[in-house]
């Protein structure tokens, strides 16, 4: 089997097998791995919701807060700052009183939303199968415990 290794900015390695796809069990698990940090960020539930909401239109902080059930003001602030730092969200401050701040996806953020939409579509298509598998598992586990 032929493998190739590449290095990211943080010198994390990913090993590729015959098919050219990275082996997920070979991904670097160090905390300073750039790939891991990005995946941790974009796979976070608050980030996913913010990206999904901003795909529709430009929103103000209060509109995002109202639309995302359960997110605290601090968590939303942290999430938006991280997404802005990663180049996924653009923050625009308007020089008015009181200050108005708008958030929107960048073109890079829009490409991520396309990927997220694929994941949501897959989930919708397979939700009944997953529910049945969960029920089967729970029934089996209950019988084992008894």
Over residues 47-105, the pLDDT tens digits come to 999 999 999 899 999 999 999 999 999 999 999 999 999 999 999 999 999 989 999 99
Contact 50, 89 (CB under 8 A): yes
Strand partners, 89: 105
- Which residues, at least 6 apart from 110, have a Cβ–Cβ distance to it below 8 Å? 55
Rounded to whole angstroms, how far apart are CA atoms 132 and 139?
11
Angle at 28 between CA 38 and CA 37, to 5 degrees: 15
Q: Which pLDDT score, from 0 to 100, does residue 28 have?
A: 58
Contact 78, 99 (CB under 8 A): no
pLDDT band for 1, please (50, 70, 90 cuts).
Answer: very low
Buried b (16+ CB within 10 A) or exposed e, 23-52: eeeebbeeeebebbeeeeebeeebbbbbbb
Contact 1, 18 (CB under 8 A): yes
Per-residue pLDDT tens digits for 104-145: 999 999 999 888 889 889 989 999 999 999 999 999 888 887
């Amino acid at each position: 089997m032929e493998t190739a290794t590449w290095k990211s900015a943080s010198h994390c390695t990913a090993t590729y097998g015959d098919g050219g796809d990275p082996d997920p069990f070979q991904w670097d698990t160090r905390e300073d791995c750039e790939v891991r940090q990005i995946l941790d960020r974009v796979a976070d539930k608050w980030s996913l919701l913010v990206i999904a909401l901003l795909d529709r239109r430009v929103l103000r902080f209060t509109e995002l807060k109202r639309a995302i059930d359960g997110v605290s003001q601090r968590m939303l602030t942290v999430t938006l700052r991280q997404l802005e730092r990663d180049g996924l969200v653009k923050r625009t401050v308007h020089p008015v009183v009181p200050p108005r701040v708008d958030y929107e996806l960048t073109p890079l953020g829009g490409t991520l939303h396309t990927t997220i939409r694929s994941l949501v579509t897959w989930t919708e298509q397979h939700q009944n199968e997953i529910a049945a598998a969960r029920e089967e598992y729970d029934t089996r586990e209950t019988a084992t415990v008894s």
